[in-house]
């Protein structure tokens, strides 16, 4: 729901079930609403303010942080994500 919206995610869950996959969970609507409302808390400006230089490495770090945030089920906040990026020693 985060990437393509609740409507598309709902349709994917229903198609998957219709194709013989597992039925959508009872919590589907709540999960869709949560994913659709999720806003990535870290920006390139945050990384620059933390000392990273603008450029491809910054974009890579931001993309890696976004994947981690999604994998965390949107639970990592700005401070945690920024800490992970800086701990990895991305180009500063």
Instruction: Note the pLDDT tens digit of each residue in 39-89.
Output: 999 999 999 999 999 999 999 999 999 999 999 999 999 999 999 998 876
φ, ψ of residue 51 in degrees (nearest 5): 110, 0
DSSP letter, residue 74: T
Q: Are 50 and 87 in contact (CB under 8 A)?
A: no
Nearest to 32 by CA among 14, 59, 52: 14
> In the numeric block, which tokens belong to residue 11?
């349709």
Nearest to 42 by CA among 64, 70, 60, 62: 62
Global confidence as pTM: 0.76
């Amino acid at each position: 729901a985060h990437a393509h919206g609740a409507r598309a995610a709902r349709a994917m869950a229903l198609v998957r079930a219709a194709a013989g996959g597992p039925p959508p969970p009872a919590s589907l609507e709540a999960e869709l609403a949560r994913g659709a409302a999720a806003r990535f808390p870290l920006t390139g400006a945050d990384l620059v303010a933390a000392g990273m230089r603008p450029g491809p490495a910054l974009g890579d770090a931001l993309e890696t942080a976004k994947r981690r945030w999604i994998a965390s089920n949107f639970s990592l906040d700005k401070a945690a994500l920024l800490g992970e990026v800086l701990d990895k020693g991305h180009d500063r």
